[in-house]
Chain A
Amino acid sequence: MAAIIASRYAVEYPNITKELCGQTVSWLQQQRTEAVAKFAEQGFPTLHDEDWRYTNVSAIEKKLFTSALKIPTSQIDRNWLKSYQLKDAWSVVLIDGHFSSELSELGGLPEKVFVKSMANALETHPELLENYVNKAVNDNEHGFIAFNTAWFTDGLFVHVGAKQCLAKPIQVLHIVTQQDVLIATRTVIVLEQMAEAKIIETFVGMDGAYLSSTVSEVFVGQNADLTLYKTQFESEKAYHFSGSYVKQEQDARFTHHNYAFGGLLARSDIHTDLGQASECELNGLYLGIKRQHIDSHTRINHLKPHGISRELYKGVLDDRAKGVFQARVIVAEDAQKTDSQMNNRNLLLSSDAEADSKPQLEIYADDVKCGHGVTVGQLDDKSIFYLQSRCVDEETARNILTFAFANEMVDKIKIKELHDIVLEQVLSRFPQEGVNKEWL
């Protein structure tokens, strides 16, 4: 008797396997076979899954997006691309899930650093990658992971050798140019001990509906330091899933900045496991307008003593938009002296906008300092009056205060070029009458 197949995508799978990378890599082939079987059984997550109770992705199943074919690089509008691509950075450009060497910029990388497309790395370093692929996350987590393992066409592999400090950031641009397609990519980032890097994941799409999904597995070695930026500006009809699953060794520092502005339905997972005395800082800003649904899911797993975690997510929601913040901090029995602080603040600009916030602390150790706080509110009348009494009209006061609320998170970006791109995106999403960005 044939097993019940939970997803129509699984039925299509045999037709697309020839497009996938790593065909000669046997361990990957085996992982893919297992993943597609698992995905066929469970499909995408549903509202019955606790971690997905606020986010309904059933539309992805209904749409039945088709796999994107490779298109010639000449069809890409270079000026459009340039508005998102940093000049002073190494960059990897993925067009519809396929690496483009012409658009990427990887000249002058130091010797002990490699930055390659996943497809290429699987050809040149399959044994090395075996240590990392599906090691920071596994297919049982939820359907998007198994889906990604089976479907990924390409992606990025970054390996920074011990004590290497990158002089420039690395940017990976996930560009979608086609409609009604599905994109799946896999990223592996490895920082060996004492290494330092800044990496930016940018998601941009032309108009239209599509599914863009990516899974990043991140390994931060002992006393290494990684800052990961995610800037998500998908098209307003897009479905987006991206997950970063991080393993921090002893004394490792990991900072994540999550700017989620695009997509009709967008979900991000940031999960990190902290080793002894390691630190993580998770910052997020989600902006929702019209009917956008933006879900941020974080999990901070303190496994060893003396870990520090700081989390601040802010949301601005207008029209009928919905923001979801689900965050869990788990402090293992062994993780004494953990210091953890989690905060979520939401600004609702319309009576139809909605914020669902669910912070959770699970503490199994007895000598820890953990706190969390959530606010959901409108613009403060006292602040509006104060600005009015300083000559600013009410509408401008509202605009300024909205930007000020969001700007706290934009200001955390230490890369000037990136800061300006993100600020521009914030400004373009809300009325900016009377707001002067030079002064922000």
Chain B
Amino acid sequence: MLSIKNLHVSVGDKPILKGINLEIKAGEIHAIMGPNGSGKSTLSHILSGKAGYTVTEGSVTYQGKDLLEMAPEIRAREGVFLAFQYPVEIPGVSNIYLLKAALNSIRKHHGQSEVDAMDFLTLVKGKVRLLEMDEKFLYRAVNEGFSGGEKKRNEILQMAILEPKLCILDETDSGLDIDALKIVSEGVNSLRSSERSFVMVTHYQRLLDYIKPDFVHVLAKGQIVKSGGAELALELEEKGYSWLEDNQAAA
């Protein structure tokens, strides 16, 4: 699904990622953990195509294609979805408008006709119920005046409707109370399938109690310093990140 090889990324002259290697197969869930400033968010931004970063070395291949060559909207239409750490408020554009525009862009990209209006509403309303949201949200402007939890839930709603192949969750945990976290996690879990992969970028281990990863990677100072199974997350919770950073410094 996704193959990251020796990826080096800078912002201006400052190197942020310094040789990332990561293989993600269809159906797998990978958690990327690490302290603040380790480059976690840069990794999710570079995968989704945000401007302002320079790739100085290495490659990212998605479903056999060069991901870095694609415009952000092409990546999205090809099935890459970023759930934002800070979802953007867009006054004047309703949620339902954005969902419909997005879904039809994907369909057009794959040579399909526009979605039928009734089918679309049925689909959207079903997902709204899944995430225990109020239908009124659909007609409100995108994220405008939403609480932190509502914004995150809205991201997962979009994900559920667009059915991406590669879901990147950037700090979905932060800013959520435990009830909201459970709902969001159930939403994510309902989307798990052998065809769909997840990259969960998180500072907190708590999210992984609800969405069990297959692999955990620790990012520190722009490199993956340790990889393991779900049990690594528990070890991190106990010991913190410093022992790994110290190891890295020693090496």
Which of A's residues lie within 8 Å of B, judged by CB? Answer: 380-383, 385-394, 396, 400-401, 403-408, 434, 436, 439-440
Contact = CB atoms under 8 A, between A and B. Distances in A.
A383 B88 contact: yes
Contact of B105 (A386, A392, A404, A440): A392
A388 B73 contact: yes
Given A388-B49, A388-B71, A391-B106, A439 B96 contact: yes
A413 to B, nearest CB: 15
B90 A439 contact: no
Contacts of B158: 390
A389 B91 CA distance: 17
B102 A382 contact: no
Contacts of B72: 385, 388-389
Given A385-B51, A388-B72, A393-B71, A404 B98 contact: no
B82 interface: yes
A47 to B, nearest CB: 35
24 contacts: A380-B88, A385-B51, A385-B88, A386-B84, A388-B72, A388-B76, A389-B76, A389-B82, A390-B76, A390-B98, A391-B76, A391-B101, A391-B103, A391-B106, A391-B109, A391-B162, A392-B98, A392-B101, A394-B71, A396-B101, A400-B101, A401-B92, A408-B91, A436-B97
Nearest to A409: B92
B51 A391 contact: no
A34 to B, nearest CB: 48
B55 to A, nearest CB: 17
Nearest to B45: A385
A400 B94 CA distance: 11
A408 B141 CA distance: 10
Contacts of A380: 88
A387 B98 contact: yes
Contacts of A403: 92
A439 B93 CA distance: 9
Contact of A439 (B50, B73, B94, B103): B94
A439 B109 CA distance: 21
Contacts of A436: 97, 101
B102 A392 contact: yes
A36 B87 CA distance: 61
B77 interface: yes
A389 B88 CA distance: 11
Given A392-B102, A400-B101, A387 B90 contact: yes
Interface in B96-126: 96-98, 100-103, 105-106, 109
Closest 9 CB pairs of A and B: A404-B92, A391-B105, A388-B72, A386-B88, A439-B97, A391-B76, A390-B102, A391-B102, A388-B73
A65 to B, nearest CB: 39
A390 B109 CA distance: 13
A408 B87 CA distance: 21
A389 B170 CA distance: 13
B91 A391 contact: no
A389 B50 CA distance: 9
Given A387-B90, A389-B48, A391-B105, 5 more contacts: A388-B76, A390-B162, A404-B92, A439-B94, A439-B100
Most buried by B among A390, A403, A436: A390
A385 B90 contact: no
B129 to A, nearest CB: 22
A71 B58 CA distance: 76
B109 to A, nearest CB: 8
Given A390-B158, A391-B101, A394-B71, A381 B90 contact: no
Contacts of B141: 404
Most chain A beta carbons < 10 A, residue from B73, B97, B105, B162: B73
Contacts of B92: 401, 403-408
Interface string B137-170: 0000100000000000000001000100000000
Nearest to B164: A391
A387 B102 CA distance: 8
A388 B77 CA distance: 10
Contacts of B49: 388-389
Nearest to A403: B92
A439 B97 CA distance: 6
Given A381-B51, A439-B96, A439-B97, A394 B73 contact: yes
Most central of B82, B90, B98, B106 by chain A CB within 10 Å? B90
Residue with the greatest number of chain B CB neighbours at <10 A, chosen from A380, A383, A392, A434:
A392
A34 B87 CA distance: 62
B142 to A, nearest CB: 8
Query: Taking each of B93, B98, B105, B109, which has the highest tally of chain A beta carbons within 10 Å of its own beta carbon?
Result: B93
B205 to A, nearest CB: 27
Interface string B79-90: 001101001101
Contacts of B71: 388, 393-394
B18 to A, nearest CB: 25
Contacts of A388: 49, 71-73, 76
Contacts of B91: 404-405, 408
A387 B71 CA distance: 12
A342 B93 CA distance: 24
Contacts of A404: 90-93, 141
A74 B92 CA distance: 43
Contact of B73 (A392, A407, A408, A440): A392
B130 to A, nearest CB: 19
A393 B91 CA distance: 19
B126 to A, nearest CB: 19
B93 to A, nearest CB: 5
Query: Which of A383, A387, A406 has the most B CB atoms < 10 Å from its CB?
Result: A387
